[in-house]
Amino acid sequence: MRILVLGSGGREHALVWKLRQSERVSKVYCAPGNGGIAEEAECLPVDLKSLESMVPLAERLKPDLTVVGPELPLTLGVVDEFTRRGMTVFGPTKAAAQLEWSKSFAKEFLQRYRIPTAAYAICDSIEEVRAALKRFHAPVVVKADGLAAGKGVVIAASKEEAASAAAEMFSGKMVGEAGARVVLEECLKGDELSFLVLSDGERVAPLVAAQDHKRVGDGDTGPNTGGMGAYSTADIIDAQMRDWLVNHIARPVVAGMKAEGAEYKGVLYCGLMMTAKGPMVLEFNCRFGDPETQPILMRMESDLVDALEASISGRMDEVELKWSEDAAVCVVMASGGYPGTFEAGKWITGLDEAAKVDGVKVFHAGTTKRDGSFYTSGGRVLGVTARAGSLESAVERAYEACGKIEFDGVHYRKDIAGRAVKG
């Protein structure tokens, strides 16, 4: 079969890499892809912000399956449009994806179905923010309501800082239209957990859990990013906790969306805080996480194509997902200045040497290839991912590979999975 993957980041490189392993797959396209993906799939130009660009491409290629990587095409209704035209596509509809593209919708949904989450307030003006802040204790989390590529969250140390952050969001300077509405939340304490399930609209099948590292600096310092690294191990949560998350969060979400006329098929990413009172939902994503997908798929031993098709066709109960007991870790190598402004076009060296490290796969996120050499083209450039029998070994391999790669301005966290290794 022939598969089209929409997207251009590290998540999409991991999806292409895993899909190609299926004996059923004869050809993989990726649109628009990147320099590294082009080594493993045929990359084609497309505008992910335009249905008028994506639809004709798919109609020309006639893939047996389209896999939507990033959130933006989902919010435009690409799944609805492809399905209407008789094409097989993996991902939630525009209505279902509202769980991600509107944080206010998600918070009210969680409240309706009594799914544990932080106390919150939805504000449409700075006056409403100032009034709502009286009900909160510092620190306060300030979130842009719309899509902001992981950068629309500020953990404010004081109420004054929270009001200032909200004002900047309302102004459009921070995250554009995504900040037209703001959500205030109590700041939860604990370890974050990324818990993903595949849903067929009724049933869910959990993937292995992972932990993302959002802040740009070591020790969880500095501004939020799209993700600076992630790891996954067999014991990050036990079977009892996994079942609790399925029964008290994932299944109620899927059932609630169906009850409200927005059947949820695809990946449901539950961003959780494991607090002293139990797991609480921080956010939902309606697609595979980035960079969590890299270590998760490194551990996946079953056929991803079979799993995606089961989600689409309502047969999730017929698929058994199999996983390696190994640990996997992904370290994101970023451009100088990220998550702020950065320069592209920096020459990348050492990729071949890094790929020779045992158990390592270098996923490209923001690269282009010219005249046989790779150059940076995005904020997050590479996701150096390693798998090994222990988390300590996986971390060691990932950082050994990172040490062989160079480009001007490169920076990456040196403590991915550090707390778990020390613990």
What is the Cα–Cα distance from 150 to 282, expressed in whole angstroms? 13
pLDDT tens per residue across span 45-57: 999 999 999 999 9
Q: What is the model's pLDDT at position 121?
A: 96
Asked if residue 150 has pLDDT above 70, the reply is: no
Of 32-41, 168-177, 355-364, 409-418, which range is least confident? Answer: 168-177
Alpha-carbon distance values, 241 to 107, 162, 244, 326 (Å): 23, 34, 5, 19
Q: What is the model's pLDDT at position 172?
A: 85
**Amino acid, single-letter form, for residue 42:** E
Q: Are 41 and 12 in contact (CB under 8 A)?
A: no
Task: Kindly list the structural domains of the chain, giving each domain's residue range(s) and its CATH number in brackets, ordered by start.
Answer: 2-91 (3.40.50.20), 119-186 (3.30.1490.20), 191-318 (3.30.470.20), 327-422 (3.90.600.10)
Higher-confidence residue of 38 and 171: namely 38
What φ, ψ does residue 389 adopt, rounded to 5°?
A: -70, -20
- DSSP letters, 389-412, are SSHHHHHHHHHHHHTT-B-TT-B-
Strand order in the sheet with 367-370: 347-348, 373-376, 367-370
Asked if residue 123 has pLDDT above 90, the reply is: yes
Average confidence score pLDDT of the chain: 96
Q: What is the model's pLDDT at position 423?
A: 64
What is the Cα–Cα distance from 19 to 32, expressed in whole angstroms? 17
Asked if residue 327 has pLDDT above 80, the reply is: yes
What is the Cα–Cα distance from 362 to 348, expressed in whole angstroms? 13
3-class SS of residue 257: helix
What is the Cα–Cα distance from 257 to 7, expressed in whole angstroms? 26
DSSP letter (8 states) at residue 261? T
Asked if residue 176 has pLDDT above 90, the reply is: no
3-class SS of residue 185: strand
Query: Strand 42-43 and strand 27-32: pairing?
Result: parallel
pLDDT tens per residue across span 67-93: 999 999 999 999 999 999 999 999 999
